[in-house]
Structure 1
């Protein structure tokens, strides 16, 4: 199995334009034993199929959403999580299903409605946790000082080290996406697939 970007959870193409997500983590290497199966150092040639077939056209979007939710699973629980995504996206569906926190969604983290809602809900007027879309820099600017920015997929715009240090922000990447996917019910997964389509 060839891991995508050094990750053991990947998309496997099937005939007729469909795909499945497959976990190739060996379960016994140092990374797997440390709870970071996504970064398995000895991925299996034939992994464990984690999903029913999905349209190939949406498989990568679903994989990125799972990675983002897996990053969110790595941070301490908080009252409010802001997700840089559309309300009808697969990421929104999965975060709402997995996170015990209040979830606010916005495609633009500078949105006035989002800022007003955060001012009402959070003493600092900013969320402690932001799940970044592609623009990690915008997420770092939107999160409160000392907060967490969850990064699951490819980043379009990265913050500078200075921005991270000055704002005391921690970037969090996923460690075990398969464990998160195991927690997703068939009904939620179907909704995420429908949202991605």
Structure 2
């Protein structure tokens, strides 16, 4: 991804501010603000990598037929492991993705191998998993007219369209694809949803959506 300076949030196009749901924006920005305050208070880095899964928050599966994981936080992405009902999981972090029966929370499961994302609709989470990414967002600018999606695939619900030249803030990225489609990098924007990374220029590195990357 080519990097150069981008527009500030004060230059955000009105269409960008309409993108996504208000609930998502408030929740995500509140989480980011809290992490930034923690840094300012001298509490150290807000997101510290932890090698021992025992230190992660836990979640219990509540799905009679088992809970299907996905390669990214989208029901449209390829399926992975199936976690049996009652399985206790270690949660790396949480993020917004495809809505499943009114719940758009997705959790990255702390495990070896490929990323395993599961919908919060079928979990009871114990503790408070942090949002994926870092406390400080990365300024980005759209390089073309591009769609904003609920999840990180083109098969997810399209929430809005951003024109070229819009300044936004990026939270983190995942590599994702819908079943049968080629894999692409997708970026979660702090005030909207998911956008293809190829449609953005970033002024600094965007982190992977994890707490341990």
TM-score range, shorter chain: under 0.3
Decide which structure has greater strand share: 2
TM-score (normalised: structure 2): 0.26
